[in-house]
Structure 1
Amino acid sequence: MEVGGIIIKISDKKLQSKLKFWGFVLLLALFSWAILPITLAIVFAYFLSPILHFLHKRLKVPSFLAALLAEIFIIASIAAVFLFIATVLIDTLPVLKSRLSEMSALIHIPSGIIAQIQDQLLSLIDVMLSKIFQSIQDIMQNLVEVTIFIIAFYFALYETSRNRQWFFVYIPARFRESIQRIFEEAALLFSYFIGVEIRLAILTFALLSISFYALGFEQPVGKAFLVSVCDFLPFLGIGLFLIPLGAVFIIIGKVALGIQLLVIYVAIQLIRQFAESMMWASTMQIRSVHAFIISAICLLLFGVAGIIISPFVLLIAVKFKQHPIFASR
């Protein structure tokens, strides 16, 4: 009985240790959420460590100056992206409206249905444009949080240029190693995910730009950018634009152009799926269909936040896959 009692006692200690660990993780997550601007500053600085390493180690730029240059570069890049999106939408929207008006004059469908189709096609662009201005307005309204983030971001960049894992010193020693391992695995997975998505978006945008230019479309780059935004949506993706557009061209008598758009959609989807499977195979050793299903479920359940949550769900899926009960015999 004494041996049995010792076994039970050891088991209880292990259970208590796990409960304490995950309880601390939960408290840490809640605290990180409470100070979200500072948390985001630390996490962003962690992912930007290669830039800081290049400036500080390679170019021998002092840490304080490397942090300042990196922050200016990031803020300027974000502002440039927002400005580019707004400019493309403003330039493309009038052209798209005029084209739809020309098409509606040629399609022999009741005007009420045509107006409804036109409104549905333009609503997505209007929502995108309003979201950009709403984001700018939210930034101005939360000026205190933005200021805290900018200041915290600079200090996080400064510390990261010297030591990438500097913030783990605030974790108790008994939990530090385990939490650091979990964080590094999640960060590595998230970097893989972002890298894959960026490369796929660039590939889709390039293929669409070349295709629209070859078809003789006006402002092919702007139109390709608008269509490629839908690439982040699950299931149809860019087909949300190309399939209805191809059908409209076929209806108005431009059969060749409509078929070409549908062929472009199928070709880009095949190229994208092949590239995606190759990218995931070289990173996480997970099948692309599994990554697609998990990403789509997260996006449908959590909205835009699902894009950020899905890498962590993928990490859990990989861990389950590595468990002995799933190993083939």
Structure 2
Amino acid sequence: MRTKEGVLYILTIFFHLNRGDFVKMRNIKYFSYERTINIFWFIFYLVILWFVLPVSLAIFLSFTTYPIINFLHKYCKIAYWIAAIIVEILILSCIVLLIIISINSIILIFPEIRDTLQNFPLFTEYESIFMQFLQEKSLSIFDSIVVYTANLFQIFMKHVIEVFIFLVAYYFALLETRKSRYWFFQYVPKKYRHEWQSHFSKVMQLFHYFVFVEFQLFTITLLILCAGFMMFQFDQAITKAFIVAFADVLPFFGIGVFLVPMSIYFYFNGNTFLCVAILLLYLFVQLTRQLAESMLWSNTLQLRTFHTFFISAASILLFGFYGILLSPLFLFLAVKLKEKSIFEQ
């Protein structure tokens, strides 16, 4: 009985996000039939979108990139369908370019890391079986990175059909977007269309700002690391800075994955100056990034940095890679919960 009451209480909170009367929520009569049907329709559409994920992503991407196509069509006097093809080619080019840069960076850095591990003092001074085993395991980690990259390429090839469907759906979605940016809501029951469209608009605004913030943080991290590595006179400073900055964007990674082991390496090599300098660079980047992130998010979400990280991490753990795309939705729900103050006594 307690479990049932708890579930009903949680559902009541969820369905009354846009209402101000939370004192009456504990009464089951306020759990209206219309709101129940509304949420069931919403869940039904989410399930459908999940099963046709390539088409869903194409629709959402067309909504996001419409301003670019409209600019090319309106100010550059390019035919709309040609502008759609140009934008699609630009997006594919950016993705391919990012993959090429990442693979090229790994190819350039991998031999240097491998040689460094092979010549590491702890490996050369001791000849015991334990140290040989440790060396082999350490080297196998970097071998596995190359194998993992190859596996990703194989997985991509297996999903060529899905990629093709995504590209075709994206092009036709762009053509439909010309008539109305919210054209896909015509398949939503008219009774819920306005409410869902309003929430969708807010979520997409938050998602666009989320991407913009991540790009700004990546740029700040990259510039600081480039300046620091050039001051330290590292070889291929820009390439190394790009790898470290890109790792900072990935979920549950960070610049510490590279900078802390690098600092330890220089310490064991007797180069105390570089050891301390890299640690200071690491602290400076982290401090700058946290301050910038707090400033960028504070005016929009009014959520603490820890809460933002916790929600994003939970989304990624629950839904994997797609949790990155769903994070803005959960952040939006968190903002709505905070606005209504439903957890205050």
In structure 1, C-alpha distance between the alignment counterparts of 2:318 and 2:48, rounded to whole Å: 24
- Tell me the number of residue pairs that the alignment of Structure 1 and Structure 2 aligns: 317
In structure 2, C-alpha distance between the alignment counterparts of 1:120 and 1:54, rounded to whole Å: 51
Question: TM-score if structure 2 supplies the norm length?
Answer: 0.83
> For residue 283 of structure 1, what is the aligned residue in structure 2?
300
> For residue 35 of structure 1, what is the aligned residue in structure 2?
52
Residues 142-183 of structure 1 show CA distances to partners (whole Å, capped at 9, x for unaligned) of 232222111111111122244211211221211111111121
Alpha-carbon distance, 1:312 to partner: 1.8
- Cα 1:301–1:148 change in 2 (3 A) is closer
Q: 1:261 aligns with which of 266, 278, 283?
A: 278
- Cα 1:51–1:121 change in 2 (3 A) is farther
- Cα 1:143–1:87 change in 2 (3 A) is same
Conserved 8 A contact 2:221-2:245? yes
In structure 1, C-alpha distance between the alignment counterparts of 2:140 and 2:262, rounded to whole Å: 13
Q: Which residue identity lines up with residue 281 of structure 1 in the other structure? A: S
In structure 1, C-alpha distance between the alignment counterparts of 2:187 and 2:148, rounded to whole Å: 37
Q: Does structure 1 residue 271 correspond to structure 2 residue 288?
A: yes
The worse-fitting range, judged by mean Cα deviation, of 34-43 and 96-105 is 96-105
Q: 2:70 aligns with which of 37, 41, 53?
A: 53
- Cα 1:26–1:303 change in 2 (3 A) is closer
- Cα 1:292–1:244 change in 2 (3 A) is same
In structure 2, C-alpha distance between the alignment counterparts of 1:258 and 1:59, rounded to whole Å: 53
Conserved 8 A contact 2:226-2:241? yes
In structure 2, C-alpha distance between the alignment counterparts of 1:304 and 1:148, rounded to whole Å: 20
Q: Does structure 1 residue 73 correspond to structure 2 residue 87?
A: no
Q: 1:213 aligns with which of 215, 227, 230?
A: 230
The worse-fitting range, judged by mean Cα deviation, of 227-236 and 211-220 is 227-236
> For residue 6 of structure 1, what is the aligned residue in structure 2?
none
SS class of match (2:86)? helix
> For residue 324 of structure 2, what is the aligned residue in structure 1?
307
Q: 1:244 aligns with which of 228, 237, 261?
A: 261
- Cα 1:300–1:152 change in 2 (3 A) is closer
Aligned-pair identity in percent equals 35
Alpha-carbon distance, 1:127 to partner: 5.0
Q: Does structure 1 residue 297 correspond to structure 2 residue 314?
A: yes
> For residue 11 of structure 2, what is the aligned residue in structure 1?
none
Q: Which residue identity lines up with residue 308 of structure 2 in the other structure? A: A
In structure 2, C-alpha distance between the alignment counterparts of 1:243 and 1:96, rounded to whole Å: 15
Q: Does structure 1 residue 153 correspond to structure 2 residue 170?
A: yes
SS class of match (1:284)? coil
Q: Does structure 1 residue 177 correspond to structure 2 residue 177?
A: no
Residues 43-98 of structure 1 show CA distances to partners (whole Å, capped at 9, x for unaligned) of 11111112112112222222111111111111111111111111111111112212
Q: Does structure 1 residue 228 correspond to structure 2 residue 245?
A: yes
> For residue 20 of structure 2, what is the aligned residue in structure 1?
none
> For residue 95 of structure 1, what is the aligned residue in structure 2?
112
> For residue 182 of structure 2, what is the aligned residue in structure 1?
165
> For residue 9 of structure 2, what is the aligned residue in structure 1?
none
The worse-fitting range, judged by mean Cα deviation, of 196-205 and 300-309 is 300-309
Residue ranges of structure 2 left out of the alignment (5+ in a row)? 1-27
Q: Which residue identity lines up with residue 87 of structure 2 in the other structure? A: A
- Cα 1:87–1:258 change in 2 (3 A) is same
Question: TM-score if structure 1 supplies the norm length?
Answer: 0.87
Q: Which residue identity lines up with residue 116 of structure 1 in the other structure? A: L
> For residue 20 of structure 1, what is the aligned residue in structure 2?
37
Q: Which residue identity lines up with residue 64 of structure 1 in the other structure? A: W
In structure 2, C-alpha distance between the alignment counterparts of 1:167 and 1:231, rounded to whole Å: 35
> For residue 116 of structure 1, what is the aligned residue in structure 2?
134
The worse-fitting range, judged by mean Cα deviation, of 314-323 and 285-294 is 285-294
The structure where helix makes up a greater share of residues is 1
- Cα 1:47–1:116 change in 2 (3 A) is farther
In structure 2, C-alpha distance between the alignment counterparts of 1:13 and 1:292, rounded to whole Å: 34
RMSD: 2.6
In structure 1, C-alpha distance between the alignment counterparts of 2:171 and 2:272, rounded to whole Å: 56
SS class of match (2:32)? helix
Conserved 8 A contact 1:82-1:132? no
Alpha-carbon distance, 1:303 to partner: 3.9
Conserved 8 A contact 2:114-2:139? no
SS class of match (1:283)? coil
Alpha-carbon distance, 1:137 to partner: 2.1
Residue ranges of structure 1 left out of the alignment (5+ in a row)? 1-10
Conserved 8 A contact 2:263-2:274? yes
- Cα 1:115–1:271 change in 2 (3 A) is farther
In structure 2, C-alpha distance between the alignment counterparts of 1:54 and 1:128, rounded to whole Å: 41
